[in-house]
Amino acid sequence: MTSAARSMTGYEWLLLLALSCLWGGAFFFIAVALEDLPPFTLVALRLSLAAMVLLGVVYLSGLRLPGERSIWLAFLGMGVLNNVIPFSLIVWGQTQIASGLASILNATTPFFTVLAAHFLTKDERLTGLRLAGISIGFTGVVIMIGHEALYGLGEKLFGQLAIMGAALSYAFAGIFGRRFRRLGVKPLVTATGQVITSTVLLVPLALSIDRPWNLAPPGWEAMAAVVGLALFSTAFAYIIYFRILATAGATNVLLVTLIIPISAIILGSAVLKEQLEVKHFVGMGLIGLGLLTIDGRLFRFVRHRFFPRPAVLSPADKNS
C-alpha cells in the first residue's frame, strides 16, 4: 500500500496533533495583529520572518537549498497555493466575518482534498469510510464551535467565499506538494523554499497596496502576535506539515483542519481559563470518531474480529 493511501502511524498522528495546536493559535494571532496592521502587511511580515527563521534552521542542519530551476518553480507553485492565496484570503476574510464561522468554513478543507485527490491522484481515492469520517468530523466542528457561529452564514458573502477559497487552495496545495518527495527534496528544505518564494511575491504586493510607511507604528501586542504567527504557526508548523505530507499524503495531513478547533478550545481553556461546555465534549467526541473512521484500522479490526468473511472452499474441498 502506498504511503498516501495507508493509515497514519502513531507518530504521524502525534505530529498532526502538534500541527493542529500550532495552526489553532494562528486565528488568535491574526485577530490580535489585525488591530494594528492591514491584511497584506501582516501576511508579508509573517512570511518574511518565517523565511529568515527557516533559512537559519536549514543551514544549521547542514542542508543547502537546491539550485535547480525546476525545483524553484515547484516551490513557487507551492508557495502560491499554500501561502499567497490562502493567507491573503483568510486574513482578509477575518476582517469580514467572525473567527468561529471562519474556523467552520476552514474545516471544509478535507472535503475539497478528498474530492480533488480522487480525480488528480491514483493512490488517494475517495472511499465511503473517508467521506463518512469527514462528514462526522465536520459535524463535530459545527457542534463544538456552536450553532451561533452559523447565524452569520449568508451575510458578508465575500468574506465567507474568501475562507472557502482558502480551503480549496489548501486542498490543491496538499496534492501539488506530493511531488517534492519524488524530486528528492527534504521536508525542511521544501518548507523553506516555498516560504521564500511566497515572501518574494507578497512583500511588493504589501508595499504597493498597504503603503505601510504611512501607517502608525503597531503596538507591542500586535508585534508579539506577528512573531508568534511567523515562528510557531508558520516556520515550525510547515516543518511538521511537509514531514507528514511526504509520508502520509495530502488527505491525511489536511485532516488537521478538523482538529484545529479542538486545539483552539483546549488552549483557550488552559490559557484564558475559558469554561468548557457539554457541546465542546460532544464535538470533540464526534471529531475523534470521524478521525477513527477515516483512519480505518478500528473498523477493519471490528470487521475481522466480529464479522469474519466465510472461507472460500476450493473445488477439491467441495468435491471431498
- List, for residues 271-296, the tens digit of each pLDDT value: 656 677 788 788 888 888 888 787 77
Calculate mean pLDDT across residues 20-30. 84
Mean pLDDT of the chain: 84
To the question of pTM greater than 0.75 for the whole model, the response is yes
Residue 265: pLDDT band with limits 50, 70, 90? confident
- Please give the backbone phi and psi of residue 155, each rounded to the nearest 5 degrees, phi first: -95, 160
Largest CA distance in the chain: 92
- List, for residues 175-185, the tens digit of each pLDDT value: 999 899 889 99
Lookup result for grid cell 489553532:
24
Q: What is the pLDDT of residue 26?
A: 82
* Planar angle of CA 32, 35, 37, nearest 5 degrees: 105
The Cα–Cα gap between 206 and 42 comes to 9
- List, for residues 183-223, the tens digit of each pLDDT value: 999 999 999 999 999 999 999 999 998 898 888 899 999 99
Share of the chain above pLDDT 70, in %: 85
Q: What is the pLDDT of residue 47?
A: 94
Q: What is the pLDDT of residue 27?
A: 75
Q: What is the pLDDT of residue 109?
A: 87
Q: What is the pLDDT of residue 310?
A: 64
Q: What is the pLDDT of residue 98?
A: 73
Contacts 24+ apart (CB under 8 A), 85-89: 85/165, 85/166, 85/169, 86/165, 86/166, 86/167, 86/169, 86/170, 86/173, 87/43, 87/46, 87/47, 87/166, 87/198, 87/202, 88/39, 88/40, 88/43, 88/202, 89/162, 89/163, 89/165, 89/166, 89/169
- List, for residues 161-180, the tens digit of each pLDDT value: 898 899 999 999 999 998 99
For residues 135 and 99, the model is more confident at 135
Calculate mean pLDDT across residues 14-40. 87
Q: What is the pLDDT of residue 297?
A: 67
